[in-house]
Structure 1
Amino acid sequence: MRISCLNGAESMKWKGVSPVVRLNHKVCHKGVSVSKKAMWKVEARSERNPLLAKWDILIRPV
């Protein structure tokens, strides 16, 4: 199921550009949260599209 979802995401294009899709093999534990300080650092690098602020977020690498 997961591999077929990845293949579907890889085949999507926007303006002729395909996304980079990777499968994460790390285990995510429930109840783990990000501190406010760490979240501020992510927010400082993020740009939101004013028309799609909830859905379209670009996070620049460090």
Structure 2
Amino acid sequence: DHRGGLKLVAVEYLVFADDLQGDPIPELFGQQFHFNPVVDAWVLHAWIGQHNPNGMFADWNPNVSCD
């Protein structure tokens, strides 16, 4: 926030590949998860606390940084 503290801006849902066991690719809120090989999981981002001009479910938000 503007005072230098932390602010929840997004959540990330994960379904680990080993847990799917052949089930279909997960969906939530009408959105299909996509595979992230770095964490070996199906993931879905939701920008709930910060508007994302790329869309609520886009992976990255150009308006947010970790700096």
More strand by share: 2
Task: Report the TM-score when normalising by structure 2.
Answer: 0.24
Task: Report the TM-score when normalising by structure 1.
Answer: 0.25
Please say which structure displays the higher CA radius of gyration: 1
More helix by share: 1
Question: Which of the pair has the greater relative contact order for Cα pairs under 8 Å at 6+ separation?
Answer: 2
